[in-house]
C-alpha cells in the first residue's frame, strides 16, 4: 500500500463566511450551502450498542453485542419458533423524490435451510406495514428486494443474492433521487427505474423509516450483524 495523501489543514465543504469554514472536516449537517440541502446519517459498526438504541420484539428475544473482529451484534430469538425483530428507535429516514438516499448492511444467518425466513433493511419503526427490505422467504435461499406499502408487499428485485449458512453477505441501496440501484457484495446487481413514492399501492413507501432486522427461526437460529449505515439528503 502506498503512503496516504496528507491534508494537514483538513478537508472542508463549507464556503467562506460560514460557521464551518475553518472546521477541518466536511460539514456534518449540510451538503453545500448553495444547494440548500442538508445530510443526515446513522452508522453503527457494533463496537458499542446503547441499550435504548434498539427495540426487540419476541418473547425473551435479545439483540446484543457479541465478540467478533470489527464489532458485531447478534439477534437471538427467545424460542425455537419465536418470530423476532429489532428496529432502531427514532425513525429518521424517508425516501424523497429528487434527494439521494443510501443504505448498506453486512450480516449473516446462522442457518438458512427449511422454513427459516428473515429480512433486513428499513421499516417504519415497529410497524411492519411499511418498509423496504431484503427478504429471504421460507423454503428458499433467494434474497429478494421487497417493498411494503400500506401492508401491500411487492417484490422489486428477485435474486439479489443467495443466502448461505454462517456466511456474510453485504447488501445495499442507492436512490439517486429518481432511480434505485441495488448492490450485493459490492456489485451493482439491479436497477429499479423511476419508482413511485407515495402513501399506498406504490413502489416505495413515503413513511419515516429506521434500520430493522427480523428472523423467523425453526431451531436455535440467529442473525449476526457486522454493520449498518443509512443516510440521505434533506432540506435544511
pLDDT at 141: 97
C-alpha cell, 155: 417484490
Give the right CATH number for 42-235 from 2.40.160.60, 1.20.210.10, 2.60.120.560, 3.40.50.150.
2.60.120.560
Mean residue pLDDT of the chain comes to 94
pLDDT at 189 over 60: yes
- Rounded mean pLDDT, 199-226: 93
User: Are the C-beta atoms of 132 and 146 separated by less than 8 Å?
Assistant: yes
- Rounded mean pLDDT, 191-219: 93
C-alpha cell, 195: 419508482
**Count of beta carbons in the 10 Å neighbourhood of residue 218:** 14
Cα(199)–Cα(51) distance, integer angstroms: 32
DSSP, collapsed to helix, strand or coil, labels residue 33 as helix
Q: What are phi and psi of 33, to 5 degrees?
A: -65, -30
pLDDT band at 66 (very low <50, low <70, confident <90, very high): very high
pLDDT in tens, 78-122: 999 999 999 999 999 999 999 999 999 999 999 999 999 999 999
pLDDT at 167: 98
DSSP, collapsed to helix, strand or coil, labels residue 112 as coil
What are the structural domain ranges in the chain? 1-35, 42-235
Nearest CA to 100 out of 34, 181, 18 is that of 181
- Rounded mean pLDDT, 207-236: 96
Cα(71)–Cα(86) distance, integer angstroms: 17
- Rounded mean pLDDT, 155-175: 98
Residue 161, strand partner residues: 143
Report which DSSP code applies to 92.
-
Amino acid at each position: 500500500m502506498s503512503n496516504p495523501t496528507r491534508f494537514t489543514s483538513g478537508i472542508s465543504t463549507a464556503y467562506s463566511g460560514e460557521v464551518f469554514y475553518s472546521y477541518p472536516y466536511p460539514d456534518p449537517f449540510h451538503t453545500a450551502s448553495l444547494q440548500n440541502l442538508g445530510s443526515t446519517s446513522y452508522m453503527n459498526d457494533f463496537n458499542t450498542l446503547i441499550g435504548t438504541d434498539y427495540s426487540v420484539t419476541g418473547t425473551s428475544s435479545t439483540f446484543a453485542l457479541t465478540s467478533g473482529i470489527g464489532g458485531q451484534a447478534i439477534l437471538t430469538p427467545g424460542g425455537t419458533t419465536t418470530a423476532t425483530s429489532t428496529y432502531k428507535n427514532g425513525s429518521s429516514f424517508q425516501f424523497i423524490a429528487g434527494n439521494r438516499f443510501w443504505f448498506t448492511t453486512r450480516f449473516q444467518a446462522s442457518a438458512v435451510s427449511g422454513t427459516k425466513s428473515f429480512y433486513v433493511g428499513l421499516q417504519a419503526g415497529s410497524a411492519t406495514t411499511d418498509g423496504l427490505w431484503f427478504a429471504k422467504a421460507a423454503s428458499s435461499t433467494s434474497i429478494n428486494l421487497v417493498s411494503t406499502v400500506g401492508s401491500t408487499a411487492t417484490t422489486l428485485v428477485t435474486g439479489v443474492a443467495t443466502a448461505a449458512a454462517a456466511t456474510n453477505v453485504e447488501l445495499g441501496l442507492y436512490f439517486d433521487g429518481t432511480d434505485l440501484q441495488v448492490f450485493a457484495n459490492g456489485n451493482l446487481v439491479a436497477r429499479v427505474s423511476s419508482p413511485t413514492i407515495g402513501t399506498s399501492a406504490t413502489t416505495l413507501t413515503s413513511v419515516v423509516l429506521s434500520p430493522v432486522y427480523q428472523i423467523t427461526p425453526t431451531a436455535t437460529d440467529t442473525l449476526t450483524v457486522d454493520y449498518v449505515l443509512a443516510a440521505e439528503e434533506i432540506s435544511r
